[in-house]
Structure 1
Amino acid sequence: MTRHHVGNALHYYLKTLDGPVRVVINDSERVCFCRTQDVAQLLSPLAHQSVRTEALTLKTFDHQAVTALYCGNSQSFRQLVREATDLGIALHEADIRPEQRYLIERFIALDVEFVGEWVPNESIKTLIGHRARRTDIDVTLSIVSLDFECSMSGELYSVGLYGKDNEGKAIELVIMVGNGEGVNPPLVASSVTYIEWVDNEAALIIALINWFARFDPDIIIGWAVVTFDLALLYRRAALHQIPLKLGRHHQLLTWKVEGKFRPETLVLPGRVVLDGIDWLKAAFYQFDSYALDNVSRQLLDEGKAIDNVDNRGEEITTLFNEDKLALAHYNITDSRLVWDIFQKTSLTEFALERSRLTGLEFGRVGASVAAFNNLYLPHLHRAGYVAPSEPASDGIESPGGYVMDSIPGLYQHILVLDFKSLYPSIIRTFLIDPKGLIEGQAMSDTDTVAGFLGARFSRNAPILPDLVAELATKREQAKREANAPLSQAIKIIMNSLYGVLGSRGCVFHDAKLASSITLRGHEIMKQTRRWLEEMGLTVIYGDTDSTFVHLADVSSIDNIDDFARSLVTKINRKWQQRLKRDYNLACYLELEYERHFEQFFMPTLRGSLEGSKKRYVGAYTQKNGELKLVFKGMEQVRSDWSPVARQIQAELYLRLFTKQDVVEYLKSMIVALQRGELDDLLVFSKRLRRNIEDYTAKSAPHVKAATLWCERSGDSRFGKRGCKVEYVMTTNGAEPRQYCHGNIDYQYYLDKQIAPISDPILTILELSFTEVASKQLTLI
């Protein structure tokens, strides 16, 4: 379902078992709220405006009576907001869009049932809706992966379309400028059935519009498909003065803000656009680079159908001029790779489940605050309140998660014990709730649960803990049904609840709420440590929800996994007993056994004997018998370190844990580096976050390299935001790999790259990198 506000009508585009349908809700009013005592002052200058009022039984968080303000059109609503701002009168829930409010007040998310009457003689089935309710329905959605190829200046060469139509049939099409002539042998061009030849760029755009009208896909997927492909198509269609009718009902693709080509500004009625990069990040996939070639190689073990990915712009133009069939193959391969990534990661299913859970518009990425509002507001209204007009806290910050001082060293047998969904469990257990907070302040101690910073939470009908409980139940069911997309969507939503309450961008933000979560987490982690130590165990580190326990003597333990499971059972029982005794609360805290690291290394801070935080490396044996290394916060997992540093670091720890010679390996790598044998591993890679002229400090190596790249190539494109800069450190400083004039500064790599990752290990051996390197360099 997609949704729009058109004039004073709400438009919803639905996919039904009988095809696409448009539902129109006429005479929609936009509503917000203000204190009843402010109504007369606010409306007196607006007597000529169409603002309707209605006194309600709702009240503010300050327990003030509330009146609803209904505006018949957007113009009167904007005037109302301006007048309230000028008068300093607070409006409540003025940011909730009418098409969204209509659904969330009815607890409607992705699936909906409308009742109304059909409008005859419309090109798309149209229903005038009178009533709506939530339902469950399973319909098949048609999806197409779209990808453009173009010249360096943006002129369109071809568009690839790959996916499945409304009947489930395969789509494989490249619309290409040209006629197939010049292909050798000529018969080959006509035998490639997935190419549709067109005369020029304008004909390509028209052919694509016609294809959309015929195949009518529900979902468009791609890679940077909004910011690049659709933005480029929009600009090229405007150049040719072609109305870009890609929406349903032949409606135009437009942008809410001209020149701002972002997913949140795209308007494409009746269709949903999902960008692979955005949705991988939303589902918490992490890659050093989100370039399609890199992601597809990691997920699919297959890359782009082109030899030189870094200079693909020039190669694409060469293929267009000399080998259009190869370009068509490259184009359709890119489209297919995106399709296969979505299939492999279940991104479409994840996006659907997220929308179904939160009521967010299908395809809207991010928007944690909006998701919270959708879940919370209808319950809040039924409890008799409207949302606050602004956050309660101004400049009062809640502390972050608990991080314990570590005990550095090399260990054997470390158990990692994690609290399952700690912050959501704290919310559920200790009844942390915005409504409960404002009600609890006036209640007796026996009727409330103490929080932090003076907070007290009512035990009477809390909203947020019940929502967490509902989500937790759904997640357990999703796990039982092996519904990974739903389980992941619920996990992310549950974990975002604390972040929303801790954000000043949320009107429910109150330091008492956020602190009652994080400081309770501190208390839980500290008490758990004390109980473990009372059992004779050593806790070497703790971080947010994880506790690292050292088993100093395993000779009396028959099975370490069984021992760990019995350990968490004891701790969980202690928490249940303590919360019942001290707070009269049911306990939803659950400690789990996460991992047994057979080998573990906790480094010190550089230049200090103090243990580091959020940095360690551990190793465990996989089912296939191979040793698996896990790096946390180390250079190995940071993209701003060179490949040579990451490769050497991984090998050093593998050798350390498997009792192989570390020093001899390091010596051999120093020699190889000095001989130039590792030059391919010395290339740094980093994208520009803005255009180079917009950097105030230009000392960053990748900015310097990008500047030289533009100067030496004569091409300013290499200094634009998003450009991937590959550079090496030379005796002249950072230089672009493609135009490197200086000699590689091997000493830089020894001092700044290899030494920092080697010293923590060498310290254990009572050596230093300087010692090892100096002895080795005298032999070169």
Structure 2
Amino acid sequence: MQSQTTEVQNEIRNLPPSLLISASYDNQKKSAVLKFYEPTSQKIILWSDEIGHKPYCFSKLNPEELDFLQERDDVLKIEPVKRLDLLRDEEVTLSKITTADPLAIGGTQSDKSIRNLIETWESDIKYYENYLYDRSLIIGKFYEIVDGKIQPHDVEIPDDVKLALKSLLWDKLQNDSMVDTKQFEEYITEWANLLNQPIPIMKRLSFDIEVEVEIGRIPDPKIAEKKVTAIGFNGTDELKQIFVLRDPNIEEGKNDLDVDVKIRFFDDEREMIEAAFKLIQEFPFVVTYNGDDFDMPYLYNRAERLGIKNSDNPLYMMRDSATLKHGVHIDLYRTLSNRSFQIYAFSNKYTDFSLNSVSKALLGEEKIDYGVDLDKLTMYQLANYCFNDARLTYRLTSFNNDILMKLLVVISRIGRMPIDDIARMGVSQWIRSLLYYEHRQRGALIPKREELERRSSGVVNDAVIKDKKYRGGLVVEPIEGIHFDVTVMDFASLYPSIIKVRNISYETVRCPHEECKKNTIPDTNHWACTKKNGMTALVIGSLRDLRVNYYKSLSKQENLTEDQRQQYTVVSQALKVILNASYGVMGAEIFPLYFLPAAEATTAIGRYIILQTIKRCEETGIKVLYGDTDSLFIKNPTREQIQKVIERAKKEHGVELEVDKEYRYVVLSSRKKNYLGVTKSGKVDVKGLTGKKSHTPPFIRTLFYELLEILSKVKSIEEFNKAKSQISSKIAEYGKKVEAKEIPLNELAFNVMISKAPSEYVKTVPQHIRAAKLLESIREIKKGDIISYVKILNKPGVKPVELARQDEVDSKKYMEFLESTLDQITSSMGLDFDTILGKPKQTGLDQFFWN
């Protein structure tokens, strides 16, 4: 429960249009608190519930059977209410139990929580989320307060943008497959009106702290016994400041700060922290990097230790995160380590989540390295080091015209969730929140996980994927060898398209209507509803159509302002993040609305579409070389053949097929999901690509890229055979160096980021943590640090680069890693590692053969 005690500004009777940005719960007032960002004054206004809303849950027992709860002081009333049961498609009567406090419903292990006493529904939703859903309040939307009442405020959308939406509704949706087309059009219109609302500039401040270092000990934010030595700030309006605590034992050094950075020295730590708090209070948004775990709790507890009054402290601590009493805190470490942002928003540009790695990948900038430990820095060097960390943190929110802040606002609008929750939680929580909101809009009861499990029991087919209860996407056997002029055809958003076109949702697959059983799903014993639009089909389908048919083309229109163009690009990107993850979420057992037959139906239809498309390709005279889930590799097709297959896929299955890549050549091995392709521009794609991962030792990465360079130049089979010979020679050359221990230690290093402090690893201790523990004797190790280690012959099997010697390197282990990393290249080319190294060839390996 995100709960805090705040001064709430309900004396304000009127508020100009402001962005609803977050929500929390006030423990003392026992009410929801909304946080509005007013873009003109650039302040956050706190608004306490004015309608007397209270926490509640549902029971299927009647009020008389719940009499024993009436005796409790924290139970306010029990009354019968009607809700729609989507699983049975009927209205049901429930008992609504209203309480004075969310903890009366859940959140404790004792009998105080009603959900521990009886079976309840909707008792595991955070209270402030409940509040937002019930009042149809959407985070990221503009509202105004008029005479003490909250009212939606929609900013007028330009005419040409409205026109583009109309053309989508009329041109693209006429023959749509939705059961209720009108309802689908309404959803699309509502989404477009919401997502086209402007996004104001967010006034914000980043900060970073440095703490006194003691060799071999990590500063504990809970105890906060070491002095804060520096606090760096970077904010909107070009605010650049650094506070430094003077120390007579540390040399002042030379001022190499940029001229626009204002430095302020303090003789008293308490005075410095109080000045920092005053500055933080001026900003509605505060941004940190790993601030939830370190900077915020350390500063909060250090302030308490120094006797600073809580009323002067703007920070507020929660169980596993930190926020501001009057603002919003965004921890970018939590945001950027979210795989949905990493993969879909930022195209996997970074592979570990340290501030340095992310900044290097997204900004082309790095942390400052003076080549000495922090305790050896002069005061000005410390100032520069600390300010630069704050600057990089701020830049991660401001680069590319504030794209990250805008993405967070747009995803808040879609996920119906506070921006600080969006920034910390994974995509499954966003989609859960969106679907819970939809249930409330329909007056529908949110089903329990156990109900969905019972309904899917005994009705699904056999799975063939390890650790999964249903079959996944189809992988077509590859035709081995080298193939020139290969086109890759890709189904745009295949699973979201299937969910929409075939009406897939937990309540529509195996619906209770007898007449729908004829609408069977291929390769399963399931059917889909023909009477009503499924909730998931409506939500995911409307978002999918908006992205594919509206925002993608809208962002390319020439008559847009730069701000409009960027907003539509951001919206398209946010939709991509959610759509790409949507099926994975709904097909994951941990998702609260996971329904096995719906997951199985989606992949079964996917397999059917791929097989049918392969058949159409063959009928059109196209040779299919390989297929993987949502893409087909086809040999040298004509434009007319491609167009014919695209049209058939749209007509027969309602899905969009498009050209994804054109390869000069592709090498396919007998293994599925293992191929190597070179595009016409010379870019080499290797499926899997361990060689590019950041933890791979630099010498292997160097070799990997040298091999890719050789492959990129191949234009014929003769050149390919020469390339095989060159690649064999290169690998042999590196292999000899490894065995002779001639490769420098820093080139042998595995570089792995630690995601928690070494002391937190108890049962299983990974290799990089073993190395980190050896390092603790010479320097401080904290979460987010990169540990560089080499593999050695003696126990514990690894050593930090700083402590290792060349003669103790375990060459055999490096040869094994070299072989497994390069296997993606060598196996697809039919090269045998042992033969390359001049060792006897192992039997049983398939010979490479040509077409």
Same fold (TM over 0.5): yes
Partner of 2:618: 533
1:199 paired with 2:267, answer yes
Confirm or deny: 8 A CA contact 2:521 2:604 kept in the other structure: no
Partner of 2:645: 571
Q: How does 1:104-503 map to 2 (within 5 A)?
A: 105-106=135-136, 108-117=138-147, 128-129=148-149, 136=197, 138-153=199-214, 154=219, 155-164=227-236, 169-178=237-246, 194-213=262-281, 216-243=282-309, 252-257=314-319, 262=320, 265-280=321-336, 281=338, 282-284=340-342, 285=346, 286=348, 287-308=350-371, 314=373, 316-319=374-377, 323-344=378-399, 346-364=403-421, 365=423, 366-391=425-450, 392-393=452-453, 397-437=469-509, 440-445=511-516, 450=521, 452-475=524-547, 476-479=549-552, 480-481=554-555, 482=565, 483-503=568-588
1:52 paired with 2:119, answer no
Give the Cα–Cα distance (whole angstroms) in 2 for the partners of residues 294 and 643 of structure 1. 15
Give the Cα–Cα distance (whole angstroms) in 2 for the partners of residues 723 and 147 of structure 1. 15
User: The residue matched to 1:173 in structure 2 has which SS?
Assistant: strand
Given candidates 681, 687, 692, the residue that maps to 1:632 is 687
* TM-superposed deviation, 1:171: 0.2
Give the Cα–Cα distance (whole angstroms) in 2 for the partners of residues 81 and 617 of structure 1. 60
| Greater relative CO (CA pairs within 8 A, separation 6+) | 2
* TM-superposed deviation, 1:302: 2.6
2:383 maps to amino acid: A
Give the Cα–Cα distance (whole angstroms) in 2 for the partners of residues 461 and 763 of structure 1. 48
Give the Cα–Cα distance (whole angstroms) in 1 for the partners of residues 787 and 257 of structure 2. 37
Confirm or deny: 8 A CA contact 1:116 1:130 kept in the other structure: yes
Give the Cα–Cα distance (whole angstroms) in 2 for the partners of residues 329 and 666 of structure 1. 44
Specify whether residues 595 and 238 from structure 1 end up closer, same or farther in structure 2 by C-alpha distance, changes over 3 A only: same
Partner of 2:64: 40
Confirm or deny: 8 A CA contact 2:81 2:95 kept in the other structure: yes
Confirm or deny: 8 A CA contact 1:9 1:26 kept in the other structure: no
Specify whether residues 104 and 535 from structure 1 end up closer, same or farther in structure 2 by C-alpha distance, changes over 3 A only: farther
Specify whether residues 293 and 385 from structure 1 end up closer, same or farther in structure 2 by C-alpha distance, changes over 3 A only: closer
Given candidates 734, 753, 761, the residue that maps to 2:817 is 753
1:68 maps to amino acid: K
Given candidates 784, 788, 797, the residue that maps to 1:726 is 788
Confirm or deny: 8 A CA contact 1:53 1:69 kept in the other structure: yes
Give the Cα–Cα distance (whole angstroms) in 1 for the partners of residues 279 and 614 of structure 2. 63
Partner of 1:739: 803
Give the Cα–Cα distance (whole angstroms) in 1 for the partners of residues 609 and 578 of structure 2. 23
Given candidates 18, 25, 30, the residue that maps to 1:5 is 25
Q: Deviation digits for residues 461-498 of structure 1, max 9, x if unmatched? A: 43332222431344244332243322121112223332
Confirm or deny: 8 A CA contact 2:791 2:798 kept in the other structure: yes
Confirm or deny: 8 A CA contact 2:83 2:93 kept in the other structure: yes
Specify whether residues 666 and 706 from structure 1 end up closer, same or farther in structure 2 by C-alpha distance, changes over 3 A only: same
1:5 maps to amino acid: Y
Partner of 1:73: 101
- What runs of 5+ residues in structure 1 fail to find an aligned partner? 118-127, 552-559, 580-586, 604-610
Confirm or deny: 8 A CA contact 2:62 2:95 kept in the other structure: no
* TM-superposed deviation, 1:590: 0.7
Of all paired residues, the percent bearing the same amino acid is: 19
The 10-residue stretch of structure 1 (450-459 or 417-426) with the greater mean CA deviation from structure 2? 450-459
1:16 maps to amino acid: E
Partner of 1:554: none
TM-score (norm 2): 0.75
Confirm or deny: 8 A CA contact 2:485 2:663 kept in the other structure: yes
* TM-superposed deviation, 1:740: 0.9
Q: Deviation digits for residues 725-757 of structure 1, max 9, x if unmatched? A: 211123334222111146154732663133345
* TM-superposed deviation, 1:758: 5.0
- What runs of 5+ residues in structure 2 fail to find an aligned partner? 1-20, 156-196, 220-226, 458-468, 556-564, 714-718, 841-851
Give the Cα–Cα distance (whole angstroms) in 1 for the partners of residues 113 and 388 of structure 2. 55
Partner of 2:699: 644
Give the Cα–Cα distance (whole angstroms) in 2 for the partners of residues 709 and 427 of structure 1. 51
Partner of 2:122: 92
1:662 paired with 2:738, answer no
User: The residue matched to 2:420 in structure 1 has which SS?
Assistant: coil
2:384 maps to amino acid: H
Partner of 1:14: 36
Partner of 2:679: 620
Confirm or deny: 8 A CA contact 2:489 2:632 kept in the other structure: yes
Give the Cα–Cα distance (whole angstroms) in 1 for the partners of residues 254 and 813 of structure 2. 54
Give the Cα–Cα distance (whole angstroms) in 1 for the partners of residues 134 and 642 of structure 2. 40
Q: Deviation digits for residues 618-666 of structure 1, max 9, x if unmatched? A: 22143xxxx2122321321334532222221232233244244323333
2:730 maps to amino acid: Y
Confirm or deny: 8 A CA contact 1:42 1:84 kept in the other structure: no
User: The residue matched to 2:303 in structure 1 has which SS?
Assistant: helix
User: The residue matched to 1:509 in structure 2 has which SS?
Assistant: coil
* TM-superposed deviation, 1:23: 1.7
* TM-superposed deviation, 1:352: 1.2
* TM-superposed deviation, 1:354: 0.8
User: The residue matched to 2:392 in structure 1 has which SS?
Assistant: helix
1:680 paired with 2:746, answer yes
1:516 maps to amino acid: A
1:266 maps to amino acid: A
Give the Cα–Cα distance (whole angstroms) in 1 for the partners of residues 427 and 836 of structure 2. 51
Give the Cα–Cα distance (whole angstroms) in 1 for the partners of residues 233 and 437 of structure 2. 41
Give the Cα–Cα distance (whole angstroms) in 2 for the partners of residues 494 and 142 of structure 1. 30
1:509 paired with 2:580, answer no
Confirm or deny: 8 A CA contact 1:672 1:678 kept in the other structure: no
Specify whether residues 435 and 266 from structure 1 end up closer, same or farther in structure 2 by C-alpha distance, changes over 3 A only: same
* TM-superposed deviation, 1:227: 1.8
* TM-superposed deviation, 1:131: 5.5
Q: What CA RMSD, in Å, does the superposition of the two structures yield over aligned residues?
A: 3.5
Corresponding pairs, count: 706
* TM-superposed deviation, 1:266: 2.2
Confirm or deny: 8 A CA contact 1:600 1:619 kept in the other structure: yes
Specify whether residues 104 and 29 from structure 1 end up closer, same or farther in structure 2 by C-alpha distance, changes over 3 A only: closer
Partner of 1:556: none
Specify whether residues 369 and 185 from structure 1 end up closer, same or farther in structure 2 by C-alpha distance, changes over 3 A only: closer
1:212 maps to amino acid: I
* TM-superposed deviation, 1:10: 2.1
Specify whether residues 75 and 334 from structure 1 end up closer, same or farther in structure 2 by C-alpha distance, changes over 3 A only: closer
Give the Cα–Cα distance (whole angstroms) in 2 for the partners of residues 105 and 204 of structure 1. 43
Give the Cα–Cα distance (whole angstroms) in 2 for the partners of residues 56 and 765 of structure 1. 67
Specify whether residues 83 and 687 from structure 1 end up closer, same or farther in structure 2 by C-alpha distance, changes over 3 A only: closer
Q: Deviation digits for residues 95-137 of structure 1, max 9, x if unmatched? A: 24245433564252312324354xxxxxxxxxx5465677746
